[in-house]
Homo-oligomer: A and B are copies of this chain.
């Protein structure tokens, strides 16, 4: 699909041709095209789409476009679109909409659905409950394969997935799982009871979505059943939604590792005030931490005054400590997040880190001593080289240990962000550097 081409048709107001071209595209592409139009254009194009296509495209629009469109179309149109959405997409949509839109939609829903929607909107934000869909295939163990296939055929169109089906008892308790593959392979007269898998992986409505993602990843599932506290099957979560969860979690971690709060909207739509709210708290905390480097420097005022050229190497040294520390902390944070290492591996990794840091420090102090000799006196070069070795060792050890410490305290290891590690390493760096200098120059 050629965006520039469509854009041109749009500008030339050749709408019939535009819609012709769009209608041939994948719904995701049409959504992408509409997302980047301005409000007026997006509503115009959306209304021109064939009704069935419009309903499908709606799920691919971003919340801003969805909101704008739902406020411009009439009740009947909105009702038709929402009826075509899978239940989890509908909930996602409602979660993002302003209160007046939600009210309007609930007013026009039948009582039973209104109750269900309210229940879903009440699940905690990051829970499996808020993510699941109710459109799954449920079967009974007394059914034959043939009966099961007939039932699937009948309801397939309305179900988010038919590839994993769920066997429940009269109380809606989950008894087993049958994949469509198993059904296709089995003999028509076999009972589901014989072919269903009884050992199942399931989540509960209150499980964190990150935990659900881990289960799906680990067991290579296409969908996972979700049960309520009474162990009744209430929904399923499919792998395509989990792919989004995984990306969201990674975004959260990457932001956290740069000391930014949780940002779950498109950067282009974020208001300056919103961004400030996400960035300022950590910047202020870090200022507070950095005061201690200042106090350290004040303590060594005499040394600095005596050998002023020591100051020239200060940014180099404290940055090197911070850089080595950031590297170590990023490695640990990621390995902990992936489950490659767990919080009890700290000591094993610490031993390795010390070896690595000593060798890194050695190489870096060699590099820096060459610079030192050329730029300053031989004595300063020695002090700088000695400091580099110690500082890289200390910075790396702090950077690698902090995530484990946070993890032990049941805090998010990603809080051991580059900026935090850098600031802590700086304090250590200032103290070590000027202590070595004071000792070497006998001040």
Contact = CB atoms under 8 A, between A and B. Distances in A.
A45 interface: no
A375 B184 CA distance: 78
Contacts of A24: 199
Given A28-B219, A259-B327, A276-B359, A319 B426 contact: yes
Interface of A: 24-26, 28, 32, 149, 152-153, 156-157, 162-163, 180-181, 184-185, 199, 201, 216-220, 222, 239-240, 242-244, 246-247, 250-251, 253-255, 257-260, 263, 266-268, 270, 272, 275-276, 279-280, 282-284, 286-287, 290-291, 293-295, 297-298, 301, 304-305, 308-309, 311-316, 318-320, 322-324, 326-327, 329-335, 338, 340-341, 345, 348-349, 352, 355-356, 359-360, 363-364, 367-368, 371, 375, 418-419, 422-423, 426, 430
Contacts of A180: 163, 180, 184
Give the dominant DSSP class at A's interface: helix
Nearest to A313: B294
B254 A330 contact: yes
Contacts of A220: 28, 240
Given A153-B185, A222-B222, A331-B258, A323 B419 contact: yes
A149 B180 CA distance: 12
Contacts of A304: 308, 311
Nearest to A358: B272
Q: Give this chain's copy count.
A: 2
B286 A323 contact: yes
A236 to B, nearest CB: 15
11 contacts: A216-B243, A259-B327, A260-B330, A267-B349, A280-B363, A290-B315, A294-B312, A297-B315, A301-B308, A301-B309, A323-B422
A419 B327 CA distance: 9
B276 A315 contact: no
A258 B291 CA distance: 24
